Amino acid sequence: MVLKKYHSWILQKIFQVALYAASYTSDSLKVLSKGQNVMEEECLEKVCLILVNYMASIDVIFEMYTKMNTELNYKV
């Protein structure tokens, strides 16, 4: 599990509970669209755009850590 390497036990459990609580895609999309009547495809397109931008930020941070030779084996 990816979370196990970098996150403490409590954060892992919180994430597992969140996944269990949002077990249906339609429920998750309603939350993401803040109750507005948005088509599933439109909502998923926006989520994908957010993730692309998020991953670009994570890549920059990871590159910075690599250049600074910073150890990444810690937990939050």
pLDDT in tens, 27-63: 777 777 777 777 888 888 888 888 888 889 988 988 8
Alpha carbon separation from 68 to 5, 6, 7, 54, 65 (Å, rounded): 20, 19, 22, 21, 5
Task: Compute how many other C-beta atoms are within 10 angstroms of the C-beta atom of residue 20.
Answer: 8
Answer whether residue 73 is part of any domain.
no
> What values do phi and psi take at 53, rounded to 5?
-65, -40
Q: Between 20 and 48, where is the model more confident?
A: 48
Q: Are 47 and 39 in contact (CB under 8 A)?
A: no
Global pTM exceeds 0.75: no
Answer whether residue 18 is part of any domain.
yes
Answer whether residue 76 is part of any domain.
no
Task: Compute how many other C-beta atoms are within 10 angstroms of the C-beta atom of residue 14.
Answer: 13
Answer whether residue 28 is part of any domain.
yes
pLDDT confidence band for 1 (50 / 70 / 90): very low
Domains in the chain, number? 1
Answer whether residue 72 is part of any domain.
no
Residue 27: which domain range? 2-67
Answer whether residue 7 is part of any domain.
yes
